[in-house]
Amino acid sequence: MVMPRDPTGDALHLALASYHKCDFLLTWNIRNLANANKFAHIRYVNTLLGLFTPTLVTPLELLGEEHHDA
């Protein structure tokens, strides 16, 4: 299962970001969203549905390496 069963959490956030073609979906959730092991499946499903796939990142990834130690 890629997303939890609760449709009002991660799945809703991903659906809204995909529908509105957001460049990034910023999340601390590395279990379900910002998870490299699940990204290919998320992109595959979005492609089948004709949806844009935002880049799924944590705030630290978005800031870049130089800010991790700050």
Q: Is residue 13 part of a domain?
A: yes
Q: Is residue 20 part of a domain?
A: yes
Q: Is residue 1 part of a domain?
A: no
Extract the runs of DSSP E, i.e. beta strands, from 1-70. 24-26, 55-57
Dihedral sign (CA 10, 15, 20, 22): positive
Residue 55 confidence (pLDDT): 93
| Bigger pLDDT: 70 vs 24 | 24
Q: Is residue 45 part of a domain?
A: yes
Full DSSP string of 20-36: TT-SEEE-S-TTTTS-H
Phi and psi at 25, nearest 5°, equal -115, 110
Q: Model pTM?
A: 0.75
User: Measured at the alpha carbon of residue 17, what is the angle toward residues 31 and 15, in degrees to the nearest 5?
Assistant: 70
Q: Is residue 47 part of a domain?
A: yes
**What digits encode the pLDDT tens for the residues 3-61?**
666 667 888 899 999 999 999 999 888 887 888 888 889 999 999 999 999 999 999 98
Q: Is residue 56 part of a domain?
A: yes
